[in-house]
Amino acid sequence: MKFTDFGLHPTVNEALEAMGFEDPTPVQEQAIPEILKKNDVIACAQTGTGKTAAFLLPIIHQIASGQGGNLNTIIIAPTRELAQQIDQQLEGFAYFSGISSIAIYGGGTGTVFDQEKTALTEGADIIVATPGRLLSHLNLGYAKLGNVKHLILDEADRMMDMGFNDDIKKIIEYLPKQKQTIMFSATMPPKIRSLAKESMVNPVEINIAISKMAEGVVQEAFLAHDDQKIPLLEALLKDKKDLRSIVIFTSRKVNVNDIKRNLRKLGLDADGIQSDLNQAEREEVLRRFKNQKLKILVGTDIISRGIDIDSIDLVINYDVPGDAEDYVHRVGRTARAQSTGTAWTFINQRDVYNFQKIESLIGTEVDKRPLPTGFSDGPNYNSGGDHSSRPNNTNKSKKRKKKPTGGKPKKDGNAATPSGEKKIAYPMKKKPPTE
């Protein structure tokens, strides 16, 4: 099947052709026709499967076909990074359609707030917003939502995890009862089922590769105590200077600066992003990383669903995420758009059980690699769930050195997978908004 088979508006097809989009991914192939039929849709698809285009393209088609109106569509996303990403992709897909859009999220100046207010009163075609910021505007009473035809909830499970359930319900109360509701989620927990039942009418359900990793990802794990993690990181990255793009995830924001500082001591180009940074600082770090002016990005899960880059070579889980689904989203940053990549995870004794849950979720056992030469034994990994502190016998060295001599991780071959969203190539040499 080709994108031209959907019967999309000529301006949409023109943009797709200019960006080199030809073959839809499975979620696009299933979701686009149902959205074009104006059915409510609830789609379960992991990150990197092309879900953003799956809901943007049919909405742009309907607006371009004269089915729009002031403030036609509201898209809600859990984080400002994801809201920006959706708005940037929207700009590319709607390049020839003349459709207006704005991303609304917290952390901006008073001038930005005024621009958002104007969009909500005078009417941009599409608004992409985070729940809290949108609700702040709605509570002030000036937003004109009478023409809203479409409500899209992206990363719905993440919004529930972040405590936005009540905010979403309040936002829905402001919208017309007659509208099309589209929901995308990586998982389908009870809260999502309940929200769908309350807000949707006979939704069509679509399920695509739930919680499975892309085939192009080489997954490896290292059993390491907390005091071994920084030396291990240094040892592994010492021989990886040829990699262009690396993301390091930590579950604790206090670790971000420690990791960044130690990597810089090695002469590595690293910077960090976490919730304590103001909006301008966060955007600048992300901009440098997306434009490959920054090699290593260190961050918490605040960025795990907000980076849309096809060329990330290596993802490192400095800590095992407490939620198994977060592992899928972290590792999903690499091996996108038919590319390949590597994911390393550092497992301390406390995280053994959580990592076993991850392996159960993804349906595969991740290869446990020995620590480099010079490291003492790490924790024990017992598939039976033994949480004792018996040594990990994959490494026979008993002497710990402050500066390990390295040791290269195993290099495994891997094949690319034909899934994932394509990197936006803006038509007619239009400069991407991230630059």
Using pLDDT thresholds of 50, 70 and 90, give the confidence band for residue 414: very low
Q: Where are the domains of the chain?
A: 3-209, 217-369
Please write the tens of the pLDDT for every residue from 237-252. Answer: 987 777 888 999 998 8
Please determine, for residue 336, whether its predicted confidence score (pLDDT) is greater than 80. Answer: no
- Note the pLDDT of residue 338: 52
- Note the pLDDT of residue 339: 62
Between 79 and 212, name the one with better pLDDT.
79
Please determine, for residue 153, whether its predicted confidence score (pLDDT) is greater than 50. Answer: yes
Please determine, for residue 29, whether its predicted confidence score (pLDDT) is greater than 80. Answer: yes
Please determine, for residue 177, whether its predicted confidence score (pLDDT) is greater than 90. Answer: yes
Q: Is the pTM of this model over 0.75?
A: no
- CATH number (3.40.50.11740, 3.40.50.300, 3.20.20.70, 3.90.1150.10) of 3-209 reads 3.40.50.300
Between 231 and 341, name the one with better pLDDT.
231
Determine contact, residues 427/96, Cβ cutoff 8 Å. Answer: yes
Please determine, for residue 275, whether its predicted confidence score (pLDDT) is greater than 50. Answer: yes
Task: Give mean pLDDT, residues 417-431.
Answer: 41
Please, what sign has the CA dihedral across residues 128, 132, 133, 134?
A: positive
Please determine, for residue 385, whether its predicted confidence score (pLDDT) is greater than 70. Answer: no
Amino acid present at 430 = K
- Note the pLDDT of residue 303: 62
Average pLDDT, the chain: 81
Highest mean pLDDT among 16-25, 98-107, 221-230: 221-230
Task: Give mean pLDDT, residues 17-44.
Answer: 93
- Note the pLDDT of residue 30: 95
- Note the pLDDT of residue 306: 54
Task: Give mean pLDDT, residues 96-118.
Answer: 86
Determine contact, residues 300/253, Cβ cutoff 8 Å. Answer: yes
Buried b (16+ CB within 10 A) or exposed e, 366-403: bebbbbbebbbbbbbbeeeeeeeeeebeebeeeeeeee
- Note the pLDDT of residue 296: 93
Closest CA to 70 of 39, 111, 94, 101: 101
Please determine, for residue 122, whether its predicted confidence score (pLDDT) is greater than 60. Answer: yes
Closest CA to 369 of 409, 397, 405, 317: 409
Please determine, for residue 116, whether its predicted confidence score (pLDDT) is greater than 60. Answer: yes
Please determine, for residue 411, whether its predicted confidence score (pLDDT) is greater than 60. Answer: no
- Provide CATH code, domain 217-369: 3.40.50.300
Determine contact, residues 128/86, Cβ cutoff 8 Å. Answer: yes
Using pLDDT thresholds of 50, 70 and 90, give the confidence band for residue 208: confident
Using pLDDT thresholds of 50, 70 and 90, give the confidence band for residue 129: very high
Task: Give mean pLDDT, residues 209-219.
Answer: 69
Fold matches, 3-209 and 217-369: yes
Please write the tens of the pLDDT for every residue from 39-95. Answer: 999 998 766 678 899 999 999 999 999 866 679 999 999 988 889 889 989 999 999
